[in-house]
């Protein structure tokens, strides 16, 4: 399954993230190398949130990341939450569906 980790960010996120950014990125790349984190980044115009896509058997993989992320532990992230995402189209969809009903 895929899981979306949403971060809600404050207006001063860009300035506040500087001291934690290298550790945040290190954790992200390590999770990607383990095959857990598929894609991640901040939303733009305005930069008021971020979305991280995880692959795993449960939401725990995304929750574990958030709980260790210095953006969260330092209080920069105002709120975070995880949603299960049923992916049906694309090479890495976990529940592929074709127009003819085949998987």
Give the model confidence (pLDDT) of 8-67 as tens digits. 999 999 999 999 999 999 999 999 999 999 999 999 999 999 999 999 999 999 999 999
Structural domain tally of the chain? 1
Can you give the residue range of the structural domain that contains 19? 2-85
User: How many Å apart are CA 80 and CA 70, to the nearest integer?
Assistant: 13
Query: Could you tell me if residue 74 is inside a domain?
Result: yes
- CATH code of 68's domain: 3.30.70.1060
Closest CA to 53 of 39, 33, 71: 39
Q: What per-residue string of b and e applies to 45-69 under the rule 16 or more CB within 10 Å gives b? A: eeeebbebbbbbeebebbbebbeeb
85 burial via Cβ count (<10 Å: 0-12, 13-18, 19+): middle
**Rg over CA atoms, the chain:** 15
pLDDT band, very low/low/confident/very high, at 101 (cuts 50, 70, 90): confident
């Amino acid at each position: 399954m895929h899981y979306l980790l949403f971060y809600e960010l404050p207006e001063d996120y860009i300035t506040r993230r500087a001291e934690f950014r290298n550790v945040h990125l290190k954790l992200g790349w390590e999770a990607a190398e383990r095959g857990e984190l598929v894609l991640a980044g901040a939303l733009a115009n305005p930069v008021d949130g971020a979305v991280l896509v995880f692959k795993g058997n449960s939401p725990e993989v995304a929750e574990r990341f958030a709980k260790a992320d210095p953006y969260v532990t330092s209080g920069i992230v105002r709120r975070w939450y995880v949603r299960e995402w049923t992916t049906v189209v694309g090479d890495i969809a976990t529940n592929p569906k074709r127009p003819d009903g085949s998987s």
